[in-house]
Amino acid sequence: MPHPDTWLKPLPQGLYCEPGGFFIDPSRVVERAVITHAHSDHARPGHKAVLATAETLALMRARMGPKRAGHAQQALAYGETITINDVRVWLQPAGHVLGSAQVAMEYRGSRVVVSGDYKRTPDPTCTPFEPVACDVFVTEATFGLPVFLHPPPETEIARLLDSVTLFPNRTHLVGCYSLGKCQRLIALLRRAGYDAPIFVHPALAAMCAVYEAGGIKLGDLRAVANAHHLAGAIVLAPPGSAVPAAIKPVIVAASGWMRIRQRAKSSGAELPLIISDHADWNELNRTIDDTGAPEVWVTHGWEAPLIHAAAQRGIRGRALRLVGYGDEDAPDQEAAS
């Protein structure tokens, strides 16, 4: 059985499956790409052939236009298997955003799973993460520090709704990125019983439409029009977007980084909510254990602490230091999408 490092290699373009002749989430234009999910740092425009879930392909087309989403697009359902050259490939749910998938690959009896971005906390807008047993598990480490522990999202949503009750005449302006976080916040608000219209910035509306088409119900969404409709309302918009001058909103931010006091402060948010679409420290470690992999490769984020923690449990670690991946909550990522 060949060791995975003989057939899966970190190249400047990204992680390359040599016998399969494809890259996973390449940061540059390639012939053949397998895409874990539609965020801009993973799904770049212009590849020749793209393999992904139907939902990811739909989000990519909505984000970048049908042509730029890939000349030849092939959809693969979760669990459906294809063979690319000598490599068996399938996609497993990653629980990150709609359509997000882990890429499982098997070559001559050796199996690697590339998680992409993922989380374990239930999310009403996407299929839950499913661990896959493997020889090497490739993980992100965006929140790979013990300080990052995300509280249950329901308690954070309750804090937002408490504030709406407390300030019934003010607009709550929630800064969130367009793909994933926005729709999850809306779905969580609906689950908490909030059935008033929710106002969304035009930059977010297109992605909401793809979610709705994918069967994710978001309730009564309205475009942000004139200011007097917005008193007492919840408005979702990309961080820092312009809103009608007449409203003096309560600024709300929703991100895993809000755990860090300085970050919360510099975000300018009066109400920082800790809600993330990435695994926190405990989820990262639990997931590595769930795969049973004797070896873990870390793509980006806080690599060293995660590798150190895994080593203490007898799991070998390797930092891939792949470039080009960020975090969707960073403003520059949003600008790039």
Smallest gap from residue 94 Cβ to Zn ion (A): 9
Nearer to Zn ion, 117 or 156 (CB): 117
Q: How far apart are CA 20 and CA 84, in angstroms?
A: 5
Q: How far apart are CA 27 and CA 257, in angstroms?
A: 24
Smallest gap from residue 278 Cβ to Zn ion (A): 7
Single residue of 17, 20, 33, 39 touching Zn ion by CB under 5 A: 39
Nearer to Zn ion, 142 or 171 (CB): 142
Smallest gap from residue 280 Cβ to Zn ion (A): 15
Nearer to Zn ion, 239 or 249 (CB): 239
Smallest gap from residue 254 Cβ to Zn ion (A): 15
Q: Which residues face 137 on adjacent strands?
A: 113, 296
Nearer to Zn ion, 64 or 173 (CB): 64
Nearer to Zn ion, 171 or 276 (CB): 276
Single residue of 55, 106, 117, 135 touching Zn ion by CB under 5 A: 117
Part in contact with Zn ion (CB under 5 A); list of ranges 69-77, 114-122, 252-260, 291-299? 114-122
Please, how many CA atoms are within 13 Å of residue 298, restricted to the half-sphere of its CB?
25
The footprint of Zn ion on residues 300-329 (CB under 5 A) is 325
Contact letters for Zn ion, residues 55-94 (x by CB under 5 A): ----------------------------------------
Smallest gap from residue 318 Cβ to Zn ion (A): 19
Nearer to Zn ion, 148 or 325 (CB): 325
Q: How many residues bind Zn ion (CB under 5 A)?
A: 4
The footprint of Zn ion on residues 222-281 (CB under 5 A) is none
Smallest gap from residue 40 Cβ to Zn ion (A): 9
Part in contact with Zn ion (CB under 5 A); list of ranges 27-35, 77-85, 115-123, 239-247? 115-123
Distant-in-sequence, close-in-space partners of 336: CB < 8 Å, separation ≥ 6: 40, 41
Nearer to Zn ion, 219 or 326 (CB): 326
Smallest gap from residue 102 Cβ to Zn ion (A): 12
Nearer to Zn ion, 257 or 325 (CB): 325
Smallest gap from residue 21 Cβ to Zn ion (A): 24
Structure-token pair, residue 331:
């403003």
Smallest gap from residue 326 Cβ to Zn ion (A): 6
Part in contact with Zn ion (CB under 5 A); list of ranges 57-65, 86-94, 110-118, 266-274? 110-118
H, E, C per residue of the chain: CCCHHHCEEEECCEEEECCCCEEECCCCCCCEEECCCCCCCCCCCCCCEEEECHHHHHHHHHHHCCCCCCCEEEECCCCCEEEECCEEEEEEECCCCCCCEEEEEEECCEEEEECCCCCCCCCCCCCCCCCCCCCEEEEEECCCCCCCCCCCHHHHHHHHHHHHHHCCCCCEEEECCCCCHHHHHHHHHHHCCCCCCEEECHHHHHHHHHHHHCCCCCCCEEECCCHHHCCCCEEEECCCCCCCCCCCCEEEEECHHHHCHHHHHHCCCCEEECCCCCCCHHHHHHHHHHHCCCEEEEEEECHHHHHHHHHCCCCEEEECCCCCCCCCCCHHHHHHC
Residues of this chain that interact with Zn ion (CB under 5 A) are 39, 41, 117, 325
